[in-house]
Structure 1
Amino acid sequence: MNGEKAGKPHIHLIGIGGAGLSAIATVLYQWGYTVSGSDMQSSMMTDLLARLGIKVFIGHRAQNLRPEVDAVVVSSAIPADNPEWQEALRRGIPVFKRAEWLGKMMAGKTGIALAGTHGKTTTTALTAYLLQEAGQSPSYIIGGYVPQLKTNAAAGQGDAFVIEADEYDHTFLGFRPNIAAVTTIEWDHPDIFPSPQALQADFEQFVAQVPPDGLVIGCGDDPVVRRVIRHARCRTVTYGLEAENDWQATGLRLNEDGGYNFTVLCRDETYRPALAGVEFGLAVPGRHNVRNALAGLIIAVERGIAPAQAADIIRRFQGVGRRFELKGEMHGVIVIDDYAHHPTEIRATLAAARDRFGDRPLWVVFQPHTFSRTAALLDEFAAAFAAADHVIVVDIFPSREVDEGRVHSRDIVTRMDHPDARYIGSLAEAASDLLERMTPPAVLLTLGAGDGYKVGEMVLKYLVSSEVMGPENEP
């Protein structure tokens, strides 16, 4: 399957508003396929797809599956009893999981797959941006909206297909990329992987699927990644901040954008002369993003982009939606939203906030994501907020799960050794509490993969109509 395919088969996507399927829908539409889909609720992504010309149904119903549909693609979050899925089976229409379909889409392209428990979305976005700005016109599928690209996916004219390789539901095992990168490996998705060893086994299989003439790139600062990439059947390269890596970022220093400037050392004599004297800089904050930039840089030079040109493009990269995204600033309060929903991501995001904002009081609203993850990592969550001055934990966002009463957001708070941590269930009540207690100057950081970002939006909306913050202004 690729952009050369004749005719216009009709593909229907169930869960089309999600990050994964909305990207697939965009590329298919640009390749000339007829595309439709459904989702439980409208969103920014369903609105963008509708503006492209894709028919989007809100709600799942058997009648959404039009007679002319040739194939159905289902999101990992869709249960098998979904009425559209059942209707497809009744009519004999082929049904594909996301992994199967993505594998078909990559056929005939130079696949570049970026995987990892943390950092894969930003690294995929940066890689796509690098190749796009260097004139290589890649196709790409990213698990988040990239403002500079004005989309999360595109069908390019070049040979490269850059794709975020998601481990959830074993999705990335459907790929056979020419280049694979692994940013980090840490236990997550306990509803899919019952143990850290089960997750690691999937990553081992993923890197083993890269052909012998391919390349596996791994963050050597992560000991688990170092072990996993030994299972590759091709050339491997490590990167990171530590000296034993093949590519090392060194001389890190904060810049005026709140990110880091750095230089790069390389053991490979092929690239060493071109890297000499090249200064790299990032507008996105955090030492973790220096590592992410290194992965993108290695892919860029492997694709023939000069390090100096790559450095200029990396310096212009502004990041991904919901990844340390500035939502607004009003009356001395800066509101940032981040997708961090794992303890390691929370610590990295808080460290980045301290880098950028120094000692400015840091208020955090955290919305745990899924009951299974919260239960499995309860103590780790409780220990993740040391860099915050004030913490509010709201109710768990269930996503695809059902509350069985095993765990509650209060359980995180009761385990925390923190001077100001509290549980406030609803998003609206959390916003009210912030407006009552938070005084400028302050940074409000909303964390989580659900809809907790709405707290920041509520606070900003109120501040826009308010001249002074304080208890008398509680909504």
Structure 2
Amino acid sequence: MQELHTLENLGNVHLMGIAGVGVSAVARLMLARGLKVSGTDAKELPVLTDLREAGARICVGYDAKNLGDADTLVISSIIKEGNPEYDEAVARGLRILHRSQGLAATMEGHRVITVAGTHGKTTTTSLIAFMLRDAGLSPTFAVGANIASLGVNAEYGQGGLFVAEADESDASFLNYSPDVAVITNIEADHLDHYGSVEAVHQAFYDFASLLPESGLLICCADDPGSRALAVRMRSERPDLRVQTYGFSEQADLRLANAHPRGQRFACDLHWGSAEAAELELALPGNHNLLNAAAGFAVGLDCGMDPAAAVAGLGAFSGAARRFDFRGESAGVRVYDDYAHHPTEVLAALRAARAVAGEGAVHVLFQPHLFSRTQEFHREFASALSLADSAHVLEIYAARESPIPGVTSELVTSELDTAGGPVSMAEAAVVLAASAKAGDVIMTIGAGDVTEQGSAILAALEERLVR
């Protein structure tokens, strides 16, 4: 059983990397709960202004003296020995918590709804939080992205519900005590942490096992890993309520007749013996219909009227960097997506195909992590080959050191479409030259490829001037 911490025993809390989307969410909620909060980040960012206005003492640049009178240190997985604040906290014997443990402390006294999965958890968490807030249920929520529809990545509500994205990348989702757990899918990823596919599946089983008697497990029936988990938990935990959703005929909540409707996507929902509703979203793609169906199942469990749940989901406009519309120039629409796993890339490009209609789809892809590229380069190439042209940047290293022989050429050598390797300096011009009116350009990846959207739009505009 994970060690539980309560807000009452944390004292004064100092958060390292406080500008990060996950740590800043913890800081916002702790401030809202009345804790004395301080924090440090490496550089000045807009979110720090928000946190100062909320009452936090913020420092820029790591220094041991920044700890002040802290009793507890909250860190993310990237904070290591050698950081002066971390080393000082160890020397002083402070309580040191992972970000997820800090978030778990803020969940105290709530009915906790967690969303986990290899893909789709940010969008699904956001959909649920928005739906519940739209219905006046005033949920507390914490999401791993900045959500335009919600206005913020975390908010303390007055209702008794707490909606949280549960990150599996480092197994920190095992620090939560959920009452409801949504599992969108389970696939091989983060093998640098887990070491094997079997260990990934075991972690999700351990996560589902945290549910209490009469807890609710909601699994996607269309995903083999999630479906297998539902079957196993039904067998081993008859005290749990287990529900499935998907296009599969065997799903408890069934989706059917998915189709585009103008710039929106729609499908029919069927549950129970004769219950039905129509779901229409502002988000493209069957994967988003599935995400919304998971949210609908949560809404029903929270006692929402089906019509209110559908209306709330339909009003959600999207999460940052999830098929994010960046603009249009020369008749070419430019979108950005955070996809960094082959399944996510394939889903994003299928959605782009639906949006493009008769137009072509062009993609600028930036692989994320050397280990992930080494493991999935063939799968990335297969997914990217759905586009009419695919150009690939060098690997975004993030937290990793290079692996000999692992470059983006592993991906481009397997491509079955036009395109190939491209440098960051030339990418915008190359992509703009590839597209014509009616086409769609997508920038895809978890790194700084997102900055190329504005450059591509500028290159398209320059082409118009010529």
TM-score bracket, shorter-length normalisation = over 0.9
> What TM-score, normalized by structure 1, do the two folds share?
0.91
Residues 258, 355 of structure 1: 8 Å contact kept: no
Q: Which amino acid counterpart does residue 12 of structure 2 have in structure 1?
A: H
Counterpart mapping for 1:154-303 below 5 A: 154-229=155-230, 230-231=232-233, 233=237, 234-259=240-265, 261-267=266-272, 269=273, 272=274, 275-276=275-276, 278-303=277-302
Which secondary structure state, in structure 2, belongs to the residue aligned with residue 191 of structure 1?
A: helix
1:43 and 1:325 map into 2 onto residues whose CA distance is 22
1:15, distance to aligned residue in structure 2 (A): 1.7
Which secondary structure state, in structure 1, belongs to the residue aligned with residue 464 of structure 2?
A: coil
Partner residue in 1 for 2:12? 10
Partner residue in 2 for 1:308? 307
Counterpart mapping for 1:37-436 below 5 A: 37-66=39-68, 68-229=69-230, 230-231=232-233, 233=237, 234-259=240-265, 261-267=266-272, 269=273, 272=274, 275-276=275-276, 278-418=277-417, 420-425=418-423, 427-436=424-433
What are the Cα deviations for residues 25-74 of structure 1, in whole angstroms up to 9, with x where unaligned?
A: 111122222222223344454454345443433333323222x2121111
Deviates more, 1:129-138 or 1:47-56: 47-56
What are the Cα deviations for residues 143-193 of structure 1, in whole angstroms up to 9, with x where unaligned?
A: 111112100110111111100011011111111100001000000011111
Q: Which amino acid counterpart does residue 379 of structure 1 have in structure 2?
A: R
Partner residue in 2 for 1:456? 453
Q: Which amino acid counterpart does residue 56 of structure 1 have in structure 2?
A: I
What are the Cα deviations for residues 119-163 of structure 1, in whole angstroms up to 9, with x where unaligned?
A: 111000000011111111111000111112100110111111100
Q: Which amino acid counterpart does residue 219 of structure 2 have in structure 1?
A: G
1:413 and 1:463 map into 2 onto residues whose CA distance is 25
Which secondary structure state, in structure 2, belongs to the residue aligned with residue 122 of structure 1?
A: helix
1:384, distance to aligned residue in structure 2 (A): 1.0
1:328, distance to aligned residue in structure 2 (A): 1.2
> What TM-score, normalized by structure 2, do the two folds share?
0.93
Residues 367, 395 of structure 1: 8 Å contact kept: yes
The change in CA–CA distance for 1:90 and 1:6 in structure 2 (over 3 A counts) is closer
The change in CA–CA distance for 1:336 and 1:48 in structure 2 (over 3 A counts) is farther
Residues 14, 38 of structure 2: 8 Å contact kept: yes
Where does structure 1 lack aligned partners over 5 or more consecutive residues? 471-475
What are the Cα deviations for residues 187-246 of structure 1, in whole angstroms up to 9, with x where unaligned?
A: 001111111101000000000110012110100111211222323631100110111111
Partner residue in 2 for 1:473? none
Residues 362, 442 of structure 2: 8 Å contact kept: yes
Which secondary structure state, in structure 2, belongs to the residue aligned with residue 166 of structure 1?
A: coil
What are the Cα deviations for residues 279-331 of structure 1, in whole angstroms up to 9, with x where unaligned?
A: 22111000011111111001101101000111111111111010001111122
2:47 and 2:383 map into 1 onto residues whose CA distance is 31
Residues 330, 436 of structure 2: 8 Å contact kept: no
The change in CA–CA distance for 1:210 and 1:400 in structure 2 (over 3 A counts) is same
2:327 and 2:133 map into 1 onto residues whose CA distance is 28
Partner residue in 2 for 1:468? 464
2:427 and 2:51 map into 1 onto residues whose CA distance is 32
Deviates more, 1:41-50 or 1:379-388: 41-50
Identity %, equivalent residues: 38
Q: Which amino acid counterpart does residue 318 of structure 2 have in structure 1?
A: G
User: CA RMSD, aligned part only?
Assistant: 2.2
1:61 and 1:421 map into 2 onto residues whose CA distance is 47
Which of 14, 20, 23 is the aligned partner of 1:21? Answer: 23
1:6, distance to aligned residue in structure 2 (A): 7.1
Residues 219, 226 of structure 1: 8 Å contact kept: yes
2:345 and 2:174 map into 1 onto residues whose CA distance is 27
Which secondary structure state, in structure 2, belongs to the residue aligned with residue 150 of structure 1?
A: coil
Count residues in correspondence.
458
The change in CA–CA distance for 1:146 and 1:265 in structure 2 (over 3 A counts) is same
2:56 and 2:327 map into 1 onto residues whose CA distance is 31
1:8, distance to aligned residue in structure 2 (A): 9.7
1:379, distance to aligned residue in structure 2 (A): 1.2
Residues 11, 72 of structure 1: 8 Å contact kept: yes
Q: Which amino acid counterpart does residue 280 of structure 1 have in structure 2?
A: L
Deviates more, 1:243-252 or 1:199-208: 243-252
1:90 and 1:282 map into 2 onto residues whose CA distance is 52
Where does structure 2 lack aligned partners over 5 or more consecutive residues? none
Which secondary structure state, in structure 1, belongs to the residue aligned with residue 441 of structure 2?
A: strand
Deviates more, 1:359-368 or 1:316-325: 359-368
Which secondary structure state, in structure 1, belongs to the residue aligned with residue 138 of structure 2?
A: coil
Q: Which amino acid counterpart does residue 263 of structure 2 have in structure 1?
A: D
The change in CA–CA distance for 1:389 and 1:373 in structure 2 (over 3 A counts) is same
Q: Which amino acid counterpart does residue 445 of structure 1 have in structure 2?
A: M
Residues 11, 73 of structure 1: 8 Å contact kept: yes
Deviates more, 1:329-338 or 1:227-236: 227-236
1:48 and 1:334 map into 2 onto residues whose CA distance is 32
Q: Which amino acid counterpart does residue 332 of structure 1 have in structure 2?
A: G
1:256, distance to aligned residue in structure 2 (A): 1.5
The change in CA–CA distance for 1:287 and 1:469 in structure 2 (over 3 A counts) is farther
Which secondary structure state, in structure 1, belongs to the residue aligned with residue 448 of structure 2?
A: coil
Deviates more, 1:5-14 or 1:155-164: 5-14
The change in CA–CA distance for 1:187 and 1:314 in structure 2 (over 3 A counts) is same
1:46 and 1:82 map into 2 onto residues whose CA distance is 20
1:397, distance to aligned residue in structure 2 (A): 1.0
The change in CA–CA distance for 1:447 and 1:46 in structure 2 (over 3 A counts) is farther
Residues 258, 356 of structure 1: 8 Å contact kept: no
